[in-house]
Every structure is written in C-alpha cells, then in structure tokens.
Structure 1
Amino acid sequence: MLKVLVPTIMLFPTIWLTRPKWLWASCLVQSFAIALVSLSWLKWSSEAGWFSSNHYLATDPLSMPLLVLSCWLLPLMILASQNHMSSEPSSRQRTYICLLTSLQVFLVMAFGATEILMFYVMFEATLIPTLFIITRWGNQMERLNAGIYFLFYTLAGSLPLLVALLVLQGDTGTLSLLTLQYTPTLQLSTWGDKLWWAGCLIAFLVKMPLYGVHLWLPKAHVEAPVAGSMVLAAVLLKLGGYGMMRMMLILEPLTKDLVYPFIALALWGIIMTGTICLRQTDLKSLIAYSSVGHMGLVAGGILIQTPWGFSGAIVLMIAHGLASSALFCLANTAYERTHSRTMLLVRGMQAIFPLMATWWFIASLANLALPPLPNFMGEVLIITSMFNWSHWTLVLTGVGMLITAAYSLHLFLTTQRGPVPSHIIGLEPSHTREHLLLVLHLLPIVLLVLKPEQMWGWCF
C-alpha cells in the first residue's frame, strides 16, 4: 500500500517545484509510474483474504480492482486536462493538478481502509477537491448551483451514516472490517433498528446514485471540467457500491425485509433514465444519465446479496468506470473543437475525424454491453441473479437493456454520421495525446475480457 501512497504524496513537491514548461510532462510521467506500480496488486498471493501493510491499510480482492482503477485514472485526467488548462496561469495549473492528486490520495486511503470510520472520513474528504474542481473550473455559470447540489445531497446522506457507525461501535465494540465479520449477528427487531439500517445504506445509495436521489449527478457532470467528469464517473460513484458491499455483511437479518423498495427504485431507474437519455440533446447530460442507469443495476446486484450479484456488481463497476470515462473524454474532444455540447451541432464527425469515430464506436459498444466485453459479463451476472431472486425483474432489466442499446446507438449515430453542419469550418485536427488517452481507456476493457477473474476474485 505504501509503495503507491508515498509516491502519490511526493507528487505534491513535484507539482510545486517543477519548472512551468516541464510541469505537465513530469506530473504525467510520475503519475503513470505510480499507476504501473499499482498493477502489482493484481498479482494476488495472500490466502487469508486480506493483504495488510499495517493495522489501518490493507487490500483484499474487493478493494484491489478499485484501487488499481483509481491509480490508473490520475495520469489519464492529467492527459485530458492539458489542452484546456494551457491558457491558465502557472499557479492555477499547479493548484488544479494538486486537487487531482489529493483526490487520488483520499481514494487510495478510502478503498484501503480497514476501519469503517477511516473509510467514512476519506469518503467525505473526496468531496472537497471535487467541489473545488467543479465550482472553479466548470464551464458555465450554473457550476456554483451544481456544486451546491453535489455538496448538500452527499452531506445530507452521509450524516445519518456517521450516527449509525457510532451506534455500531457502541454495540459491537469495534469498527474494524477485519473483525466485524466475526462478531455475533445483531438482533435487529425494533423501529430504531430499521432506522439504523436505513442510515447505514442511504449515504451509499445517494453516492451511487439511486434513482430518486440522483439529481445532483447530471448537474455535476455537465458543469464539471473533463477531469471532474472522469473521476466522478469512473471512481467516486464506485465509493457508494464499495461501501454497500462492506456494510451488507453487518446488516444481514433486516435486509431481507427492507430491501424491496430500494430494488424497485433501482430497477425502475434503469428504465426512466434510459428514456431520459433517448430525448437528451446535451452530450454530457446523456452520458451522465446513462451512469445512473448502470449504477441502478449495480445497486440491485448488491442488494440481493448473492455471489453472482456481488461479482456482477464489481465487474460492472470497473467496466463502467473505464467506458463512461472514455465517453466523457470523447465528448470533451468534440467540445474543445466546436464549443458546443449539443448533439445536432457536432454531427457528421466521422467524415472529419475517422480515427476518433473508431474510438466513439468502441466506447459506445462498451456502454451498451456488447459481448464479450466485461460490461456484458457484469450485466448478465446481475440479471441472472435477479431473475433467480424474482422472475418479474426480467421484465424491467430486459426493457432496460433494450433502451440502453437504443440510446448508445443514438449517441454514436447522431454525433458521427449524417451531413456535416455548415457552420463547422477550420477544425483543429486530433492530437496524438487524445488518441493515447482513449487507447489507455479502451485497452484495459479489451484486456479484461481475457482475464476477468482479476475483478471477481472476491466472490468465487
């Protein structure tokens, strides 16, 4: 753990002491070296389940793929931000990279925490850099409104979790993930216990987000700069799923009775957000709403608590993180050239940028869960386990998959095919930097087809 955490912390002196002309290159090289070192976590050797570096930080097969994803994303965010930050003064560029680096530090400590209270503190700490990134470097005036939505939705959901954790500490005497699974099952029978159960989960369901408490997400995505959208879609939403998986072991007796409304909301959200996507005109808004639908499927897979549901949720979280982050990068490349996110105003791009259209095609296919990509593995595992839980869920998940395919193809065809609008003249050609960025997103998705057990090793 420290072999990743210490070099990440040492990025801060690199950022502030490097000459301005070498700033982006040196930060990119160091962060990419950290990402390559983090791949060593995938070489799993511990038979005890946990691989601990000290009492507070440890990895296991559930946190390991999410840790690697967090480390992999930092160099990609630096690559994606370089162009639109180039006009800013040097001090602001350094502050921006510092915020991205601090996000990685908090995420590594959140996913690696063995104490639930430490996880909670790091879970909340990720709010601060994300809020600064959205409200300072967002594209339009609505960014302040989006930041307020993001802050208060997350805080309102998280405060009951803090109270619930303090109650749990009083009842069991420990908040360590290493020992909580061995504590006697809690006898939960009163109304207060039901409120405690809801308090433990609502923070994570808001973060995922569950349909109904999702309004902060499209606003935050649309107003954030490209790095903010990437880290929100790829990692921050996964904090909710990870927290739910950790807490589910403790909430056992009550879950069977109280879980129905949340599963119903999650499945209904897949259809509702899919139909919203079909009539979106804004490119980033469509990708943001598609994230809500995919996370609804993840929430359903976790809440039914079967090995297939859990492993499908992990696979879909990792695959969705890479695919939606790639789509946000592609939307940003179109926005930087046309200065518009309206889909009808950026159509016909295949004729101008044929190689970029290839990346659009692969990312759209990953988003609609084409076999044999890991997105498809995750969705099939979740849908199968939900069908086994209740046959009626097949209607909702089946319609949801059809709508997902429809809006993914709509996204690709509207932006890439058709006549080029007459106002598009003199566009800047695509850069090697942008192609490298997309290869580093899409190559892991393809490689995970060959070795999917790197993701679902926790469950089987």
Structure 2
Amino acid sequence: MLKIIIPTIMLLPMALLSPNKHLWTNITAHSLLIAAASLQWLTPTYYPSKGLTHWTSIDQISSPLLVLSCWLLPLMIMASQNHLEQEPMIRKRIFIMTVLSVQPFILLAFSASELMLFYIAFEATLIPTLILITRWGNQPERLNAGIYLLFYTLASSLPLLIAILHLHNQIGTLYFPMLKLSHSTVNHSWTGLVSSMALLLAFMVKAPLYGLHLWLPKAHVEAPIAGSMLLAALLLKLGGYGIMRITVLVSPVLSNIHRPFITLALWGALMTSAICLRQIDLKALIAYSSVSHMGLVIAATMIQTQWAFSGAMILMISHGLTSSMLFCLANTNYERTHSRILLLTRGLQPLLPLMAIWWLLANLTNMALPPTTNLMAELTIVISLFNWSSLTLILTGAAMILTASYTLYMLMMTQRGTIPSHITSIQNSSTREHLLMALHMIPMILLIFKPELISGVPM
C-alpha cells in the first residue's frame, strides 16, 4: 500500500518544484507510472485481504476502486491542461496540487481497515473538492454550488460520526475484520433503527440517493473538468463503497429499513432519466445520468446478496470510466464553443469527425450496449432486484428504456443537425484529447474480456 501512497504524496513537492517547461510532462508521466504500478492490486489471491496491516486491507471490493482512482489521476491532469493554458504559473501549480491532494485521501478511504480512519479520509476528500469548485469553477454560481456540497455532506456525516462512536462503545473495536466476526450489533430497538439510518445516511447523500441529490448537478455544472471527473468517477463511488461496507453491520432482520431506500433509488433512476430527456445543459444532463446509474448501485447494495454486490461493483467501475469520458467530451466542446447549451453546440460531427467516434463509443457504453461491462452490470442488478421483488422489473425496465432514449438524444443533439450560425471557425481536436479518450476507452474494452477482475467475487 505504501509503495503507491508515498509516490502519490511525493507528486506534491514535484508539482511545486518542477521547472515551468516540464511541469505537465513530469506530473503526467509520474502519475501514469503510479497508475501502472497500481494494476498489481487486480491480481487474484486466495486470501480475503491483500496487504493486511493495522490500517489498510485490500479485498475484492476495494481493489478495483483503488485501481480506478489511480488510473484517473493522470487523466484528470491531462484533461485540465488546455483549461489552464492562460493561467499564471503559480495558479497552475496550486491547481495541480489541489487535484493531487485529494488522491491520498481517496486511496486511504478505499483501503482503510478501520472505520474511524475510513470516516476521516471520507470527509477529508471534501476540502480539496470544495476548493476546486469554488476557486476554478467557470460561472459565478460556483459559490452557491460549493455551499450546497458542503452543507449536504456535513449535515449527513455528523450522524455517521455519532453512530460510529456508538458502535465503538458497544463492541470495543472499529476494525473491519473484527466487526464482520461480531454478530449483528445493531439491535431491533428504536436506537438500533436510528443508528442504522445514521450509518447509511452519509453514504446515501454521497452516492447520491434521489431526494438527497440536489447538490450533485450544481457541483458538476460549476466544477472545472478535473472537478467533474473527480466527482463523477471517484467521490460518488465512495458512497456506494461505504454502503457495501456498512450493510454488513446492519441487521438483516431490519429488512424493512431497506424497502424505502430501494424503492426511492429505483424511482430516482426513473425520474432522473426523465429529467435528462428535457435537459438543455450538456453537463447537467451527464450529471443527472450519474444519479440515475448510482440509483441502481444503491438499490443493489441494499439487497446484500452476492449477485447484487457483484453487479454494483461492475456498474461502479464502468460508470466511473464512462461518465468521466462523457465529461471530457463535453469539456472539449465547451472549450471550442464556450457554451454548454445543447442548441448552441449542435452539429459538430462534420467539424470534428474524429471526436464524433469517441462520442459514439462513450454514448454506446453509457446506454449499456452489449457486450460492454455496463450491460453485464445492469443485467446482474436487474436479476437480483427481480429476485427480491418481481415488481421492481417495471421500474428498472422503464429506467433502462429512458437511459437509451436520453443517451441517443445527447448523441443526436451534439453531433447531428445544422451547425449554428455563430460557429464560424473551430479549433481542431488535438492528440492530447484523443489520447485522453483512448485511455478511458481501452480499459472499458479490455474489461469486457475479463470482467471478473472488477466483479468483487474472489477469483
């Protein structure tokens, strides 16, 4: 674990001390090396936990998410390069250091074997994200978005802290392997119900559950590209990962506590897909589609069967890569047209024909076309939900149809149609952008051949 965390932390002095000419090259190359080194975590093992120390343990659930977070760091740096071109050098360095400072906390949160350490790392990711949105956002509403993000997250995480301390009082340890061995600690009294709710609430806001999701579209729309990628691909996954870890502690007899969550998550998947169909802002459309996909993840993690967990894991990784790629594509359009309104940026296929290929591939994976891992995940989740209750098929089926509809709508609006009259000349797509898209797409294609690497099932 340290051989990844220490090089990641050493990126901070590197960002500060690199010569101006080689700043981007150094950071990108170094973070790509870290990403390559992190692939070792995907190797199969006979032990439930790899690298078990007093403070970290990497098992089948955390290793794919750890690799995803290491993989996306160089991509965030590459995506931000053009956006910061006109900035003074010191601003570039501070921006890079802000993006880099989230990474050690994310790695700690995904690999912590102790509940309190997980909580601290989970909360610490908030500060750099907030700085990114409020300092480097594009519009004046960014402060409003930052306040939404801060207060939603803080209001939900205080009950979590109290519930963790209550757990510690009851059991005497917060060490995950020990918590699994102790019998279900949450009793069937009112306090048990309230502490279960408190344990789940913070992760439901982070994931986000429909009804607690209002901070997400705001934060996405206002964030710079690195902030959007960070939020969509990694911070939402902290919510899903947290639910997976915590549901072990919540008594299975309290299954009635799961019903409203599963219903709300599926209803949310349906509603946000419908919202996407009438969305005029490209970034907001992609943000709402994230809420819809994470609704399926929440529903699956609440069922707590092996199949459902496996589907949720595959969907989290697939969605991390897909939504990150969609945000990058939306950003390439924004950098050229300086608008996110779909009507003002349509018909770009004749102008940027190569970008149209990436748009097509990203949208096909988003709508879960076979043989992508997104389809594998959605089918697994739909089957496990159907097994839980056959009525869920109506909601999941409708949500999947709407997902295909708004994805095709997004593709048609951005690529086809008449070119608006105000677009007279447009900058060509660069090699850096194509490399960025390829580095999102290649893992998705490779995972089709070996999905068990990310399915969370011991190999």
Category of TM-score, reference length = shorter chain: over 0.9
**Aligned mates of 1:15, 1:401 — CA distance in 2:** 43
- What residue is the counterpart of 2:124 in the other structure? 125
Question: Residues 270 and 292 of structure 1 are in contact (CA less than 8 Å); yes or no, is this contact kept in structure 2?
Answer: yes
Q: Is the 8 A contact 1:374 1:452 kept in 2?
A: yes
SS of equivalent to 1:349: coil
Q: CA deviation at 1:58?
A: 1.9
**Alignment correspondent of 1:205:** 204
Identify the residue that residue 7 of structure 1 maps to in structure 2: 7
Q: Please state how far the C-alpha of 1:91 moved relative to its aligned partner.
A: 1.1
Residue in 2 aligned with 1:32?
A: 32
Q: What are the ranges of 5 or more consecutive residues in structure 2 without an aligned counterpart?
A: none
Displacement of 1:458 after TM fit? 3.1
Q: Which range moved further: 183-192 or 9-18?
A: 183-192
The residue identity in structure 1 corresponding to 2:4 is V
Deviation by residue 1:10-49 (Cα, 9 ceiling, x = unmatched) = 111111111111111100000010000001111123x220
Q: Which deviations, in whole Å up to 9, do the C-alpha atoms of 1:168-191 show, x marking residues without a partner? A: 001111101111110123361211
Residues 161, 200 of structure 1: 8 Å contact kept = yes
AA in 2 matched with 1:310 = F
- Whether the aligned pair in 2 keeps the contact of 1:313 and 1:378 (CA below 8 Å) is yes
Q: Could you say which residue in structure 1 is the equivalent of 2:316?
A: 317
TM-score normalised to structure 1 length? 0.98
Q: Deviations over 1:241-265 (max 9, x none)?
A: 0011001111023431211111111
Q: Tell me the equivalent position of 1:382.
A: 381
Q: Report the CA distance shift for 1:53/1:258 in structure 2 as closer, same or farther (over 3 A).
A: closer
| Local SS of the residue matching 1:350 | coil
Q: Does the 8 Å CA contact 1:188/1:253 hold for their aligned counterparts?
A: no
> In the alignment, which residue of structure 2 is the partner of 1:304?
303
Once the 2 structures are TM-superposed, how far is the Cα of residue 86 of structure 1 from its aligned partner? 1.4
Q: CA, structure 1 residues 127+187, in 2 after alignment: closer, same or farther (shift >3 Å)?
A: closer
User: What is the CA distance between 1:459 and its match in structure 2?
Assistant: 6.1
Residues 19-418 of structure 1: matches in 2 within 5 Å?
Answer: 19-45=19-45, 47-52=46-51, 54-186=53-185, 188-418=187-417
- Deviation readout 1:37-83 (Å, 9 max, x if unpaired): 001111123x2200125210121111000000000011000000001
Does the C-alpha gap of structure 1 residues 189 and 144 become closer, same or farther in structure 2, counting only changes over 3 Å? same
Counterpart of 2:297, as a letter, is: V
SS, match of residue 454 in structure 2: helix
Letter in 2 for 1:318: I
Q: Which residue of 2 aligns with 1:420?
A: 419
Is contact 2:225–2:327 with CA below 8 Å preserved after alignment? yes
Secondary structure at the residue paired with 1:85? coil
User: Which residue identity lines up with residue 302 of structure 2 in the other structure?
Assistant: L
**Alignment partners' CA distance in 2, 1:83 and 1:259:** 45
Counterpart check, 1:432 vs 2:426:
no
Question: Aligned equivalents of 1:257 and 1:459: distance in 2?
Answer: 30
2: CA distance, partners of 1:133 / 1:266: 29
Q: Is the 8 A contact 1:387 1:394 kept in 2?
A: yes
**Runs of 4 or more off by more than 4 Å in structure 1?**
none
- Matched residue count: 459
Counterpart position of 2:18:
18
Identity %: 56
Helix, strand or coil at the partner of 2:229: helix
Moved more, 56-65 or 143-152: 56-65
Distance 1:359 1:337 in 2: 16
Describe the SS at the equivalent of 1:114: coil
Relative distance call for 1:187 and 1:266 in structure 2 (3 A) is: closer
Q: Which runs of 5+ in 1 are unaligned?
A: none
Tell me if the contact between 1:259 and 1:303 (Cα under 8 Å) persists in the aligned partners. yes
Superposed CA deviations along residues 281-304 of structure 1, whole A, max 9, x for unmatched, are: 000000000000000000000111
How far 1:386 moved relative to its partner? Answer: 0.4
Q: Structure 1 residue 200: deviation in Å?
A: 0.4
Q: Is the 8 A contact 2:35 2:71 kept in 1?
A: yes
C-alpha contact (below 8 Å) 2:44/2:458 kept by paired residues: no
C-alpha contact 1:138 1:223 (8 A) present in aligned 2: yes
